[in-house]
Amino acid sequence: MSGSQVEQGAARYDVHDDCVEILFTAAQIQEKVVELGRQVGHEYEHLRPIFMPILKGGFIVAADLLRHLEPCPRGLEVEFVAASSYGKGTETSGTVTVSFDTASVKGRHVLLVDDLCDSGLTLFEVQRHVQEAGAASVKSLVLLDKTARRKMEFVPDFIGFECPNKWIVGNGMDTAQIYRSLPYIGVLKSDVQAQFLTK
């Protein structure tokens, strides 16, 4: 069957169709990031900070935030930290693996940047590791705070939006490593959710 016949005979898959609703639009996210950029810029203006995006979900939030810092702190550096408690699953395993350049944070003021705080386990463990590496201070920023999923007491220092307890994807957030590229934050359809639950 030719490519043209495939295109005529079957609808092309559209990743956007996997979402039943949009919780936060791209415009709303942009507006919130600008607001956070002002707060963080003033907080760290004279502290020569290190911003640490938490991979993988925090990279888009961090990239947007860095471009909207006002003022941009003098001597700002960026170091990535790899942390995961999910792997390719949809539920946290309860065990967090953390990896970063420990020497880079010694004596520095660190801001952890992530997409979402839900159980609180990942941010708690990353913060603990960075503190133990000798950071002068460690704070955290998340775009979304989903308190209904908390498994331990943890409150991020900077929060974009309070998030309802729904299955969300987009703007860096994934399900089984998919959907990070969506420009908004959406809720997966129940039948799509079921496909991941059965894998």
The set of catalytic residues is 118
Report the C-alpha gap between 176 and 150 in whole angstroms: 21
Going by C-alpha positions, the residue among 81, 20, 71 that lies closest to residue 43 is 71
